[in-house]
């Protein structure tokens, strides 16, 4: 975590980091570009126009919120289904990069590598970033249609609730 904090600081990119537990040592590393908080309304934050990307552990709910917000993602899966979800984001949907693949990999991420990765990821003028953003916007539109009246998610939820009410 210290290397991630150092990489965020060295990247020069503004950030909001939601971290549970004792974050005092990370807060010391924040400069005027960063803020660490214990909790946030994640979807509300992700949908804010000033947010340009999302570093995620690849939990399903967080991934869906990132898609709904139309954001490219940096993935750092930790356990279980998160590796598969990261694969969806990076290889199938092409809306993000896997942190360990984009750095030298291994168990220890170095702050210099993290800083360089974040700079590349947040370079809004790069061809690679523009393509990721375009794909993220496409998925955002698809997810919006799915939850709208008559959309697949809305219809499935209504059907599920109807089944429960009938029993």
Task: Convert the pLDDT of each residue in 103-135 to its tens digit.
Answer: 776 667 899 999 999 999 999 999 999 999 999
Domains and CATH numbers, the chain: 2-165 (3.40.50.2000)
- Backbone torsion region of residue 8, taken as left when φ is above 0, otherwise alpha when ψ lies between -120 and 50, otherwise beta: alpha
Task: Convert the pLDDT of each residue in 131-158 to its tens digit.
Answer: 999 999 999 999 999 999 999 998 999 9
3-state secondary structure of 30: coil
Cβ-Cβ contacts under 8 Å for 138 (sequence gap 6 or more)? none
Report pLDDT for 109: 86
Task: Convert the pLDDT of each residue in 12-50 to its tens digit.
Answer: 999 999 988 888 877 777 778 899 999 999 999 999 999
- Backbone torsion region of residue 79, taken as left when φ is above 0, otherwise alpha when ψ lies between -120 and 50, otherwise beta: beta
% residues pLDDT > 70 (the chain):
97
| Strand pairing report for 54-56 and 73-75 | parallel
| d(C-alpha 98, C-alpha 77), whole Å | 8
Report pLDDT for 18: 92
């Amino acid at each position: 975590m210290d290397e991630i904090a150092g990489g965020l600081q060295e990247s020069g990119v503004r950030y909001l980091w939601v971290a549970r537990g004792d974050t005092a040592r990370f807060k010391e590393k924040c400069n005027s570009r960063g803020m660490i908080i214990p909790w946030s309304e994640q979807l509300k934050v992700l949908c804010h126009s000033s947010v340009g990307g999302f570093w995620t552990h690849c939990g399903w709910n967080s991934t869906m919120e990132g898609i709904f917000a139309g954001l490219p993602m940096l993935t750092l899966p930790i356990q279980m289904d998160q590796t598969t979800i990261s694969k969806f984001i990076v290889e199938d949907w092409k809306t993000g990069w896997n942190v360990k693949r984009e750095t030298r990999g291994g168990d220890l991420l170095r702050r210099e590598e993290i800083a360089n990765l974040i700079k590349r990821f947040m370079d809004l003028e790069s061809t690679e970033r523009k393509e990721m953003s375009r794909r993220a916007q496409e998925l955002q539109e698809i997810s919006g249609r799915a939850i709208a009246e008559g959309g697949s998610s809305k219809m499935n939820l209504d059907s599920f609730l109807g089944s429960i009410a009938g029993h």
